[in-house]
Amino acid sequence: MLPVVVVHGGAGHIPKERSEKSTEGVCSAVRAGYAVLKRGGSSIDAVVEAVAQLENNPAFNAGCGSVLNMKGEVEMDAIVMDGKTLGSGAVSAVRNIANPVCLARLVMDKTSHTCLTAEGANKFAQSMGVPEVPMESLITEYARMRWRKNLAADAKPVECQMGKMGTVGAVAVDSEGNVACATSTGGMLNKMEGRVGDTPCIGSGGYADNQTGAVSTTGHGEAIMKVTLARLILFHMEQGQSAEAASDLGLAYMKSRVEALGGVVTVDPQGHWAARFSSKQMSWAAAQKDTLHYGLYTGEHFTQSIDEPL
């Protein structure tokens, strides 16, 4: 069963013209994460590698594809968590950083803190030798178009918060049975400056514990935080539910309690995994036993050899 890595590219509605890029992106990222595991790398190495690949892909709402806040600027959040030690690192509202997930890893490894935010996170990045990049390099024409559209007087920003592009994340189990998670996002479209969502919050945007499993979430951040979705799913797994059943229970509770949709990728230490969502779509991919699994719509599950091109 081991090793295994599962990634998601965000829950919501993905326009047809962008869905192919989204599927290709998650498959490419899962291959990169799986290669790390096959070389004997740790689960934390694998999830950071997979999510960094997604941050570098403008098809997703993370890194260089991040949505813009009300001012038309990029503010990004990320988290990593190591199930072996419960060590975690997170950053929120960071700017001018190409790979917030790598910075979150540095917070975990190099500080006694769990989360650094805004200017403090950027100063820490400088002290660690992480290069700053121009904000323009993180802004796509697509993100700018959506930002302008939502500034219009008749716009309904809430309707498309989950749409078009998504938060990215990954979970993995390495050959030693250690689990890990990583999640990264540009946040909500046209959000208030300084708004921080679920992604960098332990138990909401992600959680990993060798005793139970690991989860990375996607959806409306405020709703995910209200139900601490990642930890809720692992609670169900502690009660004996499978990764798939626990994921469905957590998502169903969020839908009934706060009327919100979302998605998750989940693993347990034995290598059982799930990619589940209550939204219309969620691009996802998994790699296990040299087989690539992927899908986009509910009930969709394609498989092929990991080495075979899409």
Q: Can you say which residues are annotated as belonging to the binding site for substrate? A: 195-198, 218-221
How would you classify residue 302: left for phi > 0, otherwise alpha for psi between -120 and 50, otherwise beta?
Answer: beta
- Residue length, the chain? 310
**Is 114 one of the catalytic residues?**
no
User: Which of 183, 162, 161 minimizes the C-alpha distance to 8?
Assistant: 183
SS3 state of residue 264: strand
What's the longest Cα–Cα distance across the chain?
55
Residue type, 94: V
User: What's the rounded Cα separation, in Å, for the pair 16 and 37?
Assistant: 32
Tell me the two tokens of residue 139.
């802004």
Q: At 6, which helix (H) or strand (E)? A: strand 4-12
User: Which of 13, 57, 52, 55 minimizes the C-alpha distance to 33?
Assistant: 52
Q: Provide the 8-state DSSP code for 96.
A: S
Residue 96 vs residues 4, 63, 66, 192: alpha-carbon distances, Å? 32, 9, 12, 18
User: Which of 213, 221, 287 minimizes the C-alpha distance to 49?
Assistant: 287
Residues making up the binding site? 195-198, 218-221
User: Which of 35, 129, 58, 93 minimizes the C-alpha distance to 221?
Assistant: 93
Catalytic option among 23, 117, 167, 266: 167
SS3 state of residue 272: coil
User: Which of 290, 273, 272 minimizes the C-alpha distance to 38?
Assistant: 290
User: What's the rounded Cα separation, in Å, for the pair 209 and 15?
Assistant: 35
Catalytic residue ranges:
167
